[in-house]
């Protein structure tokens, strides 16, 4: 697996009824991926198992969105959002992702996370991309990753406050006509 695959700018297409599933341990290390996830990402399952999920991270994804995702998951709530991922060949694909903590009913501890990704409409992900670009702009002028997260989260809060929505409400609103 190569983290420095050049990006092609080409979107990998997949069927509208596809469901791309992966599962991680509590640290975000991949412990399962379904055949459709592997096929679209362009990896064999063996290449993904044991890797941090950031191995398919696309540089167009703002740090702020993953920061919000992890804050949501750590408080044992599910996260919904638009994500663009990088494929093994440098292509990319947009999805609407649901990420869910699997909680042990006896201990109350999160034992794993799983994510279910669905095909995203181009009109929806184009709107997501517009906002993500603003977050990336805010993040890119900062010197440290931590400062970038803070700046991106602040910008996201401003955008959501102006829209009068939470991130989840905003994400769901994108697929409305
Ligand atoms: C179940 C689960 C699924 C995830 N799916 C993705 C994904 O599809 N793409 C992605 O870039 N990050 C995904 N992440 C988030 C990554 O763990 C990581 O936070 C993100 O890629 C940013 O990595 P970085 O902070 O090292 O740059 C997922 C995390 C979990 C727990």
CA of 63 to the centre of ligand 1 (A): 10
Residues 76 and 20: their CA atoms lie apart, in Å, by: 22
Instruction: Collapse the DSSP code of 6 into the 3-class scheme (helix H, G, I; strand E, B; otherwise coil) and give the result.
Output: coil
For the chain, which ranges sit under pLDDT 70? Answer: 1-5, 177
Per the DSSP assignment, residues forming a β-bridge with 21 are: 116
Instruction: Collapse the DSSP code of 19 into the 3-class scheme (helix H, G, I; strand E, B; otherwise coil) and give the result.
Output: strand
Which ligand 1 atom sits closest to the C-alpha of 114? 1
Q: What is the pLDDT, as a whole number, of residue 1? A: 58
Find out whether 5 and 90 touch, Cβ atoms under 8 Å.
Answer: yes
CA of 176 to the centre of ligand 1 (A): 26
The protein residue with its alpha carbon nearest to ligand 1, atom 14, reads 53
Q: What is the pLDDT, as a whole number, of residue 4? A: 57
Q: What is the pLDDT, as a whole number, of residue 176? A: 78
pTM assigned to the model: 0.96
């Amino acid at each position: 697996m190569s983290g420095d695959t050049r990006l092609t700018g080409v979107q990998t297409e997949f069927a509208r009824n596809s469901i791309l599933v992966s599962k991680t341990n509590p640290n975000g290390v991949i412990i399962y991926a379904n055949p459709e996830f592997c096929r679209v990402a362009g990896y064999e399952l063996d290449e993904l198992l044991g890797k941090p999920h950031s191995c398919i991270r696309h540089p167009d994804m703002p740090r702020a969105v993953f920061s919000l995702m992890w804050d949501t998951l750590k408080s044992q709530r599910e996260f919904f959002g638009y994500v663009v991922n990088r494929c093994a060949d440098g292509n990319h694909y947009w999805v609407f992702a649901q990420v869910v903590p699997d909680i042990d009913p006896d201990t109350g501890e999160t034992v794993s996370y799983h994510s279910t990704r669905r095909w995203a409409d181009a009109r929806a992900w184009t709107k997501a991309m517009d906002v993500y670009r603003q977050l990336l702009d805010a993040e890119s002028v900062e010197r440290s990753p931590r400062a970038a997260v803070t700046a991106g989260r602040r910008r996201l809060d401003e955008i959501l406050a102006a829209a009068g929505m939470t991130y989840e409400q905003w994400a769901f609103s994108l697929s409305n006509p």
